[in-house]
Amino acid sequence: MAFTTNHHQLVPKHTKLSEAEKAKLFEQYVVSIRDLPKILKTDPAVAKLSLKSGDIVKIERESKTAGVSFYYRGVIDG
Amino acid sequence: MMPQVHKKIISISFGIFSPKQIVDSAAAKVVTPELYDREGYPVDGGLMDLRLGVIDPGLRCKLCGQKLKECPGHFGYIELARPVIHIKFVRQVYDILRSTCRSCARVLIPDENIKKYIIFLNNLGAEEGYESRRRKIREIVAKYKLKETCPHCNTKQEKLKLEKPYNFYEGEVRLSPIEIRARLEKIPNEDLEVFGFNMAEFRPEWLVLTVMQIPPVTMRPSITLESGERSEDDLTHKLGDIVRINQRLFENINAGAPEVIIEDLWDLLQYHVTTFFDNEVPQLPPARHRGGQVLKTLANRVNSKEGRIRHNLAGKRTDFSARTVISPDPQISLNEVGIPKDMAMTLTIPERVTEWNKEHLKKFVENGAKKYPGANYIIKADGKRKTITSETKDEILAEIEVGYIIERHLMDGDVALFNRQPSLHRMSMMCHRVKVLPGRTFRLNPAVCNPYNADFDGDEMNLHIPQTEEARSEARILMLVETQLISPRYGLSVVGGIHDAITGNYLLTKELVLSREEAVDMLYTCGVDDFSRLPNKEKLDGKEVFSVLLPKDFFFVGKDKSGNEVKIVGGVLKTGSMDKSNLGQESGLMLRNIYEKYGESFTADLLGKISKLGIAVLSRRGFSIGIGDMDLSAETVEEIHSTIEKSEEEAMKLISLYHKGQLEPLPGRTLEETLELRILESLNKARNKSGDIAMKQVHYSAALIMARCGARGNALNIAQMTAIVGQQALRGRRIDTGYRGRTLPYFKEKDLSPKARGFIKNNFKSGLQPYEFFFGAMTGRDALMDTALRTPKSGYLYRRLSNAMQDLKVEYDGTVRDASGKVVQFMFGEDGMDVSKTKNGVLDVKRIVQQVVEDVQ
């Protein structure tokens, strides 16, 4: 039985970026997927998203000082 | 202008020289062990051959024609009479020999599998590195070795043994380096690929030396002793041995000497060549000087703490730096550092002579090196350096002209970088202005102790004097103490009033009433000379005196340490008193607001004035502490006693309940745990209660004042001195270790009473019972051990963290990236806040908006 973390209050919202969003992200920050922080596709927080290597996950974190902050991580195998 | 790049290094590959390369790159062949002829001139073909470089002034290199310091030196070579094994490659030779056939020299892997393994091994090598690749080869070969015969020519394989350090035995027979070399020669290029050697650049037989490279004389210079005698470098000595034995070996071979003699000489040659490379080979006696001192050969120059890497590369040292003990001086300003005069006369600042400062600088030269302020050196326009002594002084004075540089003594107002290890944050190294003082220690304002984490129990600090105008302005603009007032870690002031400064201002603003004369006197000592803001009265309130320091248009509302309101209206302190929360370091809210409005230099200046005012107040009023400060009235003592006794009784009641089995366990706890918790609870209550009583009842004394305003000590310290020390805890529990069933032999077994388990009901003034003292010592020792063990651990943790993050940088697009451009955060701290512009991490947006609206109106 796989443990899902998705509804835990401490796990921020993880979503997969569409191809268009991906292109926009790359353009905005002038980066390629190699330059992004990584996340394993087996990571419990994204296990349900059925990702493959090369995808990008967007994480929406809530914070006291910033409201919502976005974070992007490139998916890798493993 | 950027220097032009002629050739850019794409990659570097390391390999070993082939005999041909050694000979081709050699400037000279060394054939004789003699160094100099009768005239003391280097012998041609000797180890100091002039073609190998120059180490004598005046001589020219025979090869490149350059002089000393210009000629980099050139390699030479000697031809060895018999081959010897290179000690640093014995391991590799052993591996190769064991993995190849003794007859056909093929790798002991069947032909059909070689390709497969090459691919496999190359992948492994690329992924995990060369070391694990080599381990894998051995495993593979060991697998085929079981068969005992060569898969190519079916020769039976003998067991090969390495007798450390460099003798190989096959069965009982010793293999000579000649035989070894012959076998290595036979290994086909294709098979070398298995070992991961690049065939184009490497042949295994090169690991057995037939010719040896002679390093240039420039890396083994001889020194001339006072007696005029020459003393050769260790390397030259060793090379001399090699050449001598080599010559003897040659002669004996040519003369057809018996095999035994040749063998002996050959062994000796092997020994000398080995110790030339590494004089610390296990199982081999190190080569020594005649006096018995061990020679320092090639490997010793590189290895270990005194070696090239750790000593010269990683441990570079700087000139123009100083180190000594630090001591406090509240009279110098925050951004000054007191420097001993003796030091100021050694550390120098180069100043260039111009038309306008020529006469000014000449005065320093006139004073010379021994009179302050003088100068130690001059540098002529052509770059030649001259020492200023009483003999050379007049000559130098006459020749000084525009363009000369004079290295004058350090003077007041010069800039210096001041540093205390461990340098954990950027405030560990700040720029100070020099103040030359008598004495032998560095002096610093006690307010900057906090950023350096310094105290005066023997701490030493380092000082560096920037030598160029660029370095000086950089230090001044970026690193001056004023620029470091606000910590980038939590956005509050890291410097602030300490101890007496806080106490003094607290007393001043809280209760003192001064005569006008006194007030003017005190203000004047701290640098105020405009008294127009002092109210025109005969008797002045301390608050009015303090307010003189504040700017006229300063408004502030805040709280003091005990929660009372502090209000400053139009630069006048209306209510509240100044204490740690407004003046102190790492809090100092009033100071923080001043900083925001009036800038860094004003704040530093104000802090200096406030500190001096505090000290002036204390020295005028007097401030002493004594045992009498801890006195309590008889009634209070009685009250405290009854409180403690009551809770002790309560604890005893709980214990008897427990023994009767009537104690109700708390949910999720055993009976014993419940008892412990409830006893602790009741005893803690007693301690807190009696502490509160004591704090209220203890008469108004110096100790109490210090605790109230946060200058030193706290309520707990006072309670422990006047009322009760309280329960001692070890690992979060009452003390329960020691003898079987009891903590000390003084108690009965299974005694759970407070007294038997580390409850100290006395106070430090009344004195402790022996058993109480012992409990106190137990927790004290435990705390000491704990800090002693924790400090290096957390230090290392911090070091790893700071090293891992050291070149992260906020880019122009707001992202945080490392040196290779990889994103770490998409916005600094995920909220984009500059902590040093906040107050304790909070940005008061409402206040900022209000400010802006006010300004507009």
Q: Are A69 and B822 a contacting pair at CB < 8 A?
A: no
Three-state secondary structure call for residue B161? strand
Residue B43 lies in a domain: no
- Shared domain for B466 and B594, answered yes or no, is no
Of A29, A65, A70, the CB nearest to B813: A29
> Same domain, yes or no, for B711 and B578?
no
Residues B441-462: tens digit of each pLDDT: 999 999 999 999 999 999 999 9
Show residues of chain B in contact with A25, CB under 8 Å.
none
Percent of chain A with pLDDT strictly greater than 70: 91
Secondary structure element (H or E) that encloses residue B820, with its range: none
B491 found inside a domain: no
- Helical axes B702-709 vs B499-510, angle rounded to 10°: 100
Please check whether residue B382 touches A, CB under 8 A.
Answer: no
> Of B192, B212, B232, at which residue does a domain stop?
B212
**Residue at B514 is within a domain:** yes
| Per-residue model confidence (pLDDT) at position B650 | 85
Q: Choosing among B822, B823, B842, which should be mutated to test the A contact, i.e. which has the most A CBs within 10 A?
A: B823
Residue B156 and residue B105 share a domain: yes
Least Cα separation, residue A60 to chain B (angstroms): 11
**Residue in A17, A69, A72, A73 to test binding to B, most B beta-carbons within 10 Å:** A69
Distance from CA of B2 to the nearest CA of A (A): 28
Query: Which is higher by pLDDT, B112 or B427?
Result: B427
Contact flag A69-B843 (C-beta cutoff 8 Å): no
Q: How many domains does one find in chain B?
A: 4
The pLDDT of residue B855 is 78
Of B813, B826, B833, the CB nearest to A65: B833
Tell which wins on pLDDT, B836 or B86. Answer: B86
Distance from the first to the final alpha carbon of chain B:
51
**Contact B495/B448 with Cβ under 8 angstroms?**
yes
| Contacting residues of B for A38, CB less than 8 Å apart | none
Q: Is residue B794 part of a domain?
A: no
Q: Which residues of B touch A63 (CB under 8 A)?
A: 830-831
B590 and B636 together in one domain: no
Flag whether pLDDT at B152 surpasses 60: yes
pLDDT for residue B507 is more than 70: yes
- Best mutation target, A28, A56, A65, A71, to test chain B (most B CBs within 10 A): A65
Model confidence pLDDT, tens digit, residues B778-822? 999 999 998 888 888 888 888 888 888 888 999 998 899 998 889
Final residue of a structural domain among B593, B621, B649: B621
- Residue, of B478 and B137, whose pLDDT is higher: B478
Q: Mutate which of A25, A35, A59 to test chain B, going by most B C-beta atoms within 10 A?
A: A35
pLDDT for the residue B444 = 93
What region, left, alpha or beta, does residue B806 occupy, with left being phi > 0 and alpha being psi -120 to 50 degrees? alpha
Per-residue confidence (pLDDT) for residue B353, from 0 to 100: 92
Q: Is residue B298 part of a domain?
A: no
If asked whether residues B403 and B467 sit together in one domain, one would say yes
What whole-number distance in Å separates Cα of residue B825 and Cα of residue B815? 6
pLDDT tens, position by position, B376-410 = 999 988 888 888 888 888 888 888 889 899 999 99
Q: Which of A33-37, B572-576, B714-718 has the highest mean pLDDT?
A: A33-37
In this structure, what token pair is assigned to residue B546?
Answer: 């303090």
pLDDT on residue B777? 93
Chain A residue numbers with beta carbons less than 8 Å from the beta carbon of B827 are 66, 69
Residue B474's CATH number: 2.40.40.20
Residues B637 and B711 in one domain: yes
Does A31 sit within 8 Å of B821, measured CB to CB? Answer: yes
Q: What does the angle CA B263 – CA B267 – CA B269 come to, to the nearest 5 degrees?
A: 115
Strand pairing class (B572-575; B816-817): unpaired
Q: Nearest-CA distance from A37 to chain B in Å?
A: 6
| Residues on chain B touching A65 (C-beta within 8 angstroms) | 831, 833, 841, 843
Range in B92-96, B587-591, B719-723, B757-761 the model is least confident about: B587-591
CB of B369 closer than 8 Å to CB of B465:
no
Q: How confident is the model at residue B2, as a pLDDT?
A: 62
State how far residue A66 is from chain B, nearest Cα, in angstroms.
Answer: 5
Handedness of CA B278, B280, B283, B286 (dihedral sign): positive
Q: B823 to chain A: nearest residue by CA?
A: A36
Interface of A with B in 3-62 (CB under 8 A): 28-31, 34-37, 61
Q: What is the pLDDT of residues B186-223, one digit of tens each?
A: 888 888 878 877 777 788 889 999 999 999 999 998 88
- Kindly give, in sequence order, each residue whose CB lies less than 8 Å from that of residue B390, ignoring residues fewer than 6 positions away: B368
Residue of B nearest to A32 (CA): B822
Structural domain including B424 reads: 321-484
Which residues on chain A are in Cβ contact (under 8 Å) with B830?
Answer: 61, 63, 66, 69, 71
d(CA B28, CA B63): 9
Q: What pLDDT, on a 0 to 100 scale, did the predictor assign at position B799?
A: 82
Residues B673 and B763 both lie in one domain: yes
**Residue in B139, B106, B147, B146 with CA at minimum distance from that of residue B120:** B139
Average pLDDT over every residue of B134-139? 75
Q: Who among A34, A65, A71 is closest to B826 (CB)?
A: A71
Query: Do B449 and B577 have their domain in common?
Result: no
Amino acid at B37: D
pLDDT(A2) > 60: no
Task: Say which amino acid occupies B791.
Answer: T
Give the closest of A35, A65, A69 to B823, CB-based: A35
Provide the pLDDT confidence category of residue B19 given band limits of 50, 70 and 90. Answer: very high
From the list B821, B822, B830, the residue facing A63 with the nearest CB is: B830
Q: What is the pLDDT of residues B677-731, one digit of tens each?
A: 888 888 888 888 888 887 777 777 888 888 888 888 888 888 888 888 888 888 8
| A66/B contact by beta carbon, under 8 A | yes
Mean pLDDT of A45-66: 85
Which residues, at least 6 apart from B452, have a Cβ–Cβ distance to it below 8 Å? B418, B420, B427, B428, B430, B444, B461
B506 touches B577 (CB < 8 A): yes
Between chain A and chain B, the number of residue pairs with CB atoms below 8 A apart is 40
Residues 546-585 of B with CB under 8 A from A: none
Which residues in chain B are closer than 8 Å to A66, comparing Cβ atoms?
827, 830-833
Helix (H/G/I), strand (E/B), else coil: B533: coil
H or E stretch at B776: helix B770-804
Kindly report, residue by residue over A8-23, the tens digit of the pLDDT: 788 888 889 999 999 9
- Rounded percentage of chain B residues whose pLDDT exceeds 90: 27
Q: Which amino acid is at B104?
A: C
The 3 state secondary structure assigned to B387-429 is ECCCCCHHHHHHHCCCCCEEEEECCCCCEEEEECCCCCCHHHE
Of residues B69 and B212, which shows the higher confidence score?
Answer: B212
Question: Any residues with CB less than 8 A from the CB of B263 and at least 6 apart, and which?
Answer: none
* Architecture, CATH, for domain A13-76: Alpha-Beta Complex (3.90)
pLDDT of B79 higher than 80: yes
What local confidence, expressed as pLDDT, does residue B463 receive?
96
pLDDT of residue B441: 96
Please say whether the beta carbons of A25 and A72 come within 8 A: yes
Smallest Cα distance from A22 to chain B, Å: 15
Tell me what pLDDT residue B513 has. Answer: 86
pLDDT of residue B56: 78
State how far the Cα of B76 lies from the Cα of B215, in Å rounded to an integer.
Answer: 7
- Please tell me the distance from the alpha carbon of residue B106 to that of residue B90, in angstroms, as a whole number: 20
Asked if residue B274 belongs to a domain, the reply is no
Say whether A35 and B822 touch across the interface (CB within 8 A).
Answer: yes
Contact between A30 and B813 using a beta-carbon 8 Å cutoff: yes
* B449 and B535 share one domain: no
Contacts of A70 in chain B (CB under 8 A): 826
Q: Residues of A with CB below 8 A from B808's CB?
A: none
Give dist(CA B305, CA B94) in Å, integer.
30
Average pLDDT over every residue of B589-618: 88
Q: Can you tell me the distance from the alpha carbon of A78 to that of A64, in angstroms, rounded to the nearest whole number?
A: 34
Tens of pLDDT, residue by residue over B236-291, are 999 999 999 999 999 999 998 898 999 999 999 999 999 999 988 888 888 888 88
What are the chain B neighbours of A69 within 8 Å (beta carbons)? 826-827, 830-831
Confidence of residue B1 (pLDDT cuts 50, 70, 90): low
Which of B816, B820, B830, B845 best tests the A interface by mutation, with the highest count of A CBs <10 A? B830
Q: Are residues B650 and B570 in the same domain?
A: no
Cα distance from A29 to chain B (closest Cα, Å)? 7
User: Poorest-confidence range of B333-347, B452-466, B686-700, B747-761?
Assistant: B686-700
Q: Is residue B13 included in any domain, yes or no?
A: no
Taking CB atoms and an 8 Å limit, are B813 and A36 in contact across chains?
no
Residues of B within 8 A of A26 (CB-CB) are none
- Return the top range by mean pLDDT from A7-11, B571-575, B615-619: B615-619
Rounded CA-CA distance B374/B367 in Å is 5
B637 and B617 belong to one structural domain:
no
Q: What's the Rg (C-alpha) of chain B?
A: 40
Which chain A residues are Cβ-neighbours of B823 within 8 angstroms? Answer: 29, 31, 35-37, 72
Answer yes or no: is B562 within a domain.
yes
| Pick from B826, B833, B841: CB nearest A70 | B826
Instruction: Quote the pTM value.
Output: 0.73
CA dihedral B62, B64, B65, B70 (to 10 degrees): -120
CATH code of the domain covering residue B692: 1.10.132.30
Q: Is B424 on the interface with A (CB under 8 A)?
A: no
Per-residue pLDDT averaged across B629-646, rounded? 84
Q: How far is B806 from chain A (nearest CA, A)?
A: 18
- Reported as type and span, the H/E element at residue A33 is none
What share of chain B in percent tops pLDDT 70?
Answer: 99
List all residues of chain B from 811 to 850 with a beta carbon under 8 Å from chain A. 813, 815, 817, 821-827, 830-833, 841, 843
pLDDT at B418: 95
Whether B492 has a pLDDT exceeding 90, the answer reads no
Do B421 and B339 share a structural domain? yes
Question: With 90 as the cut, is the pLDDT of residue B846 above it?
Answer: no
Report CB contact under 8 Å: A66, B830: yes
